[in-house]
Amino acid sequence: MSNKINACAWHNQQSGKASRALSRLQLRTALLRLALVVWVSALLLLTSSVVAAEEESSKGYQLGRGYAIGNTGIRLGGYASVHLESLGDVPWSLNVSDASLFVAWDNGSRLRFFSELEVEDSLGAGQQYRGVTTSKADFLIERLYLDYLVNDNLTVRIGKILTPVGQWNLIHADPLVWTATRPVATDNLFSEHVSGIMLHGTVPIGEQSLEYSVYGDYSSTLDPLRAEPPYFDNALGMHLRYNVNDNLKIGFSYVDFALQGSANIRNHLAGLDIAWAYQRFAVNSEIVYRNNDAAVNNNAWQGYIQGVSPIAEHFYAVGRYEFFDQPNQQFGQVGVLGIAYRPRPPLTLKLEYRLGQHNRDLAPDGLFASFSVLF
């Protein structure tokens, strides 16, 4: 009899624990939904205020086009973005994820300068941080280069640039892309940056044109303060983009490179990218394939396809499918469904949900939101 009583007591105790855990989960979900509603409402009001202030400002400055300093040829700009995420069992977090300053100089001569200085994760808040913190703040030189215009079809660029593989990596600033999350294929198999020299330009082909870039990288010597891996030790690469017409562009990328920490292993990456746009509709896709000289785990395919469709004035529905090989030999895939609000091109508010299979390491399930502005 005592054993039965003890068993019942244990069962009741476990049921009580499960009930309390479920109640905490329900409370957390309710609070998160309330926080999202308040946050979205506040940002919509902020957006409206910024747009109104910009409309009333002098014609010397337009949001998203930077600020020219007199007749010096110097123009200042940049962007800022705030991200909110909740990843399954991981506590939610709110981050000022990017605060970037652009400095450009162009006085009409053949020589031009551009730099992008960025503070990443400058301010974090939420359950993950147990309060507000600046401990994860990091200063980065995102881009820093000189251009010399040889002629109408050729420019020589020297410095640190964004690696020209596909489309996303070249326009990855949060106000310019449609989702708060980045596709795995756009940065997992190659370095986001190149430090060295590039030859680039546009060649007319009949009524159309071909954009090209050829570059050499030696980051291990020229850029000792790099961002998150993977990053190049050295590389040689090229990117071609054929403008079929005003709505359709097709690109091809190739890079031969070594990564820091494995300089004796040569990697070979090839990529295909397609961008189609018509009125307010758009479809983008990138596929990359990488192999190397190592005997094991030397092949990887990754890619995505993304569609954008208008659903109301300033509101867009966004959907994306991604797939990716992983070092653990598991084939991962995710789907992203979201909505983007763009009252003006420089201002974007996004809300999306990501769900997948074998995706915990590279693209975990979760709810994501962001607000960004291009200055």
Local structure of residue 313 (DSSP, 8 states) = T
DSSP E strand boundaries for the chain: 67-68, 74-87, 90-105, 111-126, 131-133, 138-151, 154-162, 193-205, 208-217, 232-243, 248-259, 262-278, 281-292, 299-312, 315-325, 331-344, 347-357, 366-374
Whether residue 22 is predicted with pLDDT greater than 50 in this model: the reply is no
Closest among 136, 141, 143, 101 to 122, alpha carbons compared? 136
User: Regarding predicted confidence, which is higher, 45 or 170?
Assistant: 170
Whether residue 207 is predicted with pLDDT greater than 70 in this model: the reply is yes
Closest among 328, 279, 330, 273 to 306, alpha carbons compared? 273
CA distance linking residue 323 with residue 309, whole number of Å: 22
Q: What is the pLDDT of residue 295?
A: 65
Whether residue 101 is predicted with pLDDT greater than 70 in this model: the reply is yes
Tell me whether strands 248-259 and 90-105 are parallel, antiparallel or unpaired: unpaired
Contact 240, 211 (CB under 8 A): yes
CA distance linking residue 108 with residue 98, whole number of Å: 31
CATH topology of domain 21-374: Porin (2.40.160)
39-53, 157-171, 267-281, 352-366: least confident range: 39-53
Q: Say what the pTM is.
A: 0.82
Q: What is the pLDDT of residue 301?
A: 95
Contact 163, 191 (CB under 8 A): yes
Mean pLDDT of 147-168: 96
Local structure of residue 73 (DSSP, 8 states) = S
**Structural tokens at position 10:** 């244990």
Mean pLDDT of 297-325: 94
Domain ranges of the chain: 21-374
**What percentage of the chain carries pLDDT values higher than 90?**
58
**Structural tokens at position 326:** 């992983």
